[in-house]
Structure 1
Amino acid sequence: MTGTLGTVERLDPLRVTMESFSSKDMAMQAQKKILSHMANKSMVQMFIDDTSSEILDELYRFSKEYSGNRAEAQKVVKDLIKIAVKIGVLFRHNRFSPEEMRLAQDFKKKLHQGAMTAISFYEVEFTFDKTVMSELLTGCRDLLLKLVDSHLTPKSHGRINHVFNHYSDPELLTQLFNPNGPFKNNLNKICTGLNELIEEGKL
């Protein structure tokens, strides 16, 4: 695909220092990089808001502590942000067909269901089911891959797989949702942010 997406796919990797990782700063970098190549500068606006950035930061902190691998934790969140920004560009340029828009709605519903399920598992003790949570996330992954199939490159498809395969790992989810584990505070902040997005009608 040429034009907007050609520009999107040619972006250099986002640069971020190892000492100060901020998903909000990274989203701003991605947005400015993409929009600086577009003719319509009036499009400038945040693709990722403050609440979403806070959720991403907590996902990064959790992944870093869980894996013990700072670079991998950064890469997962970078990939997530790049995909979110690229899909935002596609929407704003009306690149999706009616059939793809139906897929987008299915994805949004599945993502909403996943967020509601995560919040429920957090709020109600002894209800967590790693299989249910993992299947919801892989379902989101599969719908998203179908949505962008004809719009983004295999490299972007790989990023989608990387993000969802990482967070749908049953063992990772078990550790995150362990009510007596070291990640309880991370989960609290993630679910608080998800609640805010749902209440604002953004998720």
Structure 2
Amino acid sequence: MADGGRFSSKQIGLKIQKKVIGKFANRSMAKQFIDDEFGALLDTIHLILKTELKDSKKADKIIKNMIKVTVKIGLLYKNSQFNTEELALGMGLRSKLRKTALTVISFYEVDFTYDRGFLIKAVGDVGESLHKLVERHLTAKSHGRINSVIEAFSDGPLLDKVFLSDGPYHSHLEQLSQAFHKIVDSEW
């Protein structure tokens, strides 16, 4: 039931789609819903997380959470579920994501510009906007997924290992930067 107790097959269909996506999301499925650039970005992030966490399952879960949330938001948008205020929040979120992506690119391209605090704040702002966008649409479990992703990308010591020139994952920064370049160029 939706809209004050009235039956809505559209709402039920959307709910089922969200459930199915939640059950079956993985990196290979993401390639069907997510473009190659975003897929390449996810693969690089997964490699870093798997190495850092020394736990492939935990790294898989973080990437699956990213995929589930991304696909669910796309599904909500495609089905015109966002109201005017939420669409405005979505535009703000898009702007924050773009700014964060450009920041990562800048940290790669310009030596000694990495600012851990700035990046952690930017990631936190993205998370806050994301929670507001999906507040009335997704479950507490989905909000927990968002939190797990934001926590992973707000881990200062991990960020240092990627962005500092002597960090063990610095070699992946070029791949991350290239993926962000392609995404920024194609999406915005």
TM-score normalized with structure 1 length: 0.82
Which residue of structure 2 lines up, in the alignment, with residue 175 of structure 1?
A: 161
Q: Which amino acid aligns with 2:19?
A: R
Picking from 135, 138, 141, the partner of 2:124 is 138
Query: Partners in 2 of 1:82 and 1:179 — Cα distance?
Result: 32
Deviations 1:94-114 (A, max 9, x none): 100011000000000000010
Picking from 34, 49, 60, the partner of 2:35 is 49
Which residue of structure 1 lines up, in the alignment, with residue 64 of structure 2?
A: 78
Which residue of structure 2 lines up, in the alignment, with residue 20 of structure 1?
A: none
Number of matched residues?
Answer: 178
Which residue of structure 2 lines up, in the alignment, with residue 3 of structure 1?
A: 12
Query: Partners in 2 of 1:15 and 1:116 — Cα distance?
Result: 28
What RMSD, in angstroms, separates the aligned Cα atoms of the two structures? 1.6
Contact 1:14–1:78 (Cα < 8 Å) also in 2: no
Contact 1:9–1:153 (Cα < 8 Å) also in 2: no
Deviations 1:171-202 (A, max 9, x none): 111111121222123221111010011112x1
How far 1:9 moved relative to its partner? 4.1
Query: Partners in 2 of 1:187 and 1:53 — Cα distance?
Result: 16
Picking from 122, 138, 145, the partner of 2:108 is 122
1:27 aligned to 2:37?
no
Query: Partners in 2 of 1:163 and 1:68 — Cα distance?
Result: 17
1:197 aligned to 2:183?
yes
Picking from 96, 108, 113, the partner of 1:110 is 96
Contact 2:25–2:68 (Cα < 8 Å) also in 1: no
Which residue of structure 1 lines up, in the alignment, with residue 23 of structure 2?
A: 13
Query: Partners in 2 of 1:115 and 1:4 — Cα distance?
Result: 34
Query: Partners in 2 of 1:27 and 1:6 — Cα distance?
Result: 19
Query: Partners in 2 of 1:175 and 1:79 — Cα distance?
Result: 23
Query: Partners in 2 of 1:7 and 1:189 — Cα distance?
Result: 36
Picking from 40, 44, 57, the partner of 1:58 is 44
1:92 aligned to 2:102?
no
Partner-residue secondary structure (3-state), 1:3: helix
Query: Partners in 2 of 1:13 and 1:185 — Cα distance?
Result: 34
TM-score normalized with structure 2 length: 0.89
Stretches of structure 2 lacking an aligned partner (at least 5 in a row): 3-10
1:129–1:154 Cα change, 3 Å: same
How far 1:124 moved relative to its partner? 1.2
Deviations 1:66-111 (A, max 9, x none): 1111111000000000111111100111100011000000000000
- Percent sequence identity is 34
1:159 aligned to 2:168?
no
How far 1:126 moved relative to its partner? 1.2
Query: Partners in 2 of 1:185 and 1:94 — Cα distance?
Result: 41
Contact 2:25–2:64 (Cα < 8 Å) also in 1: no
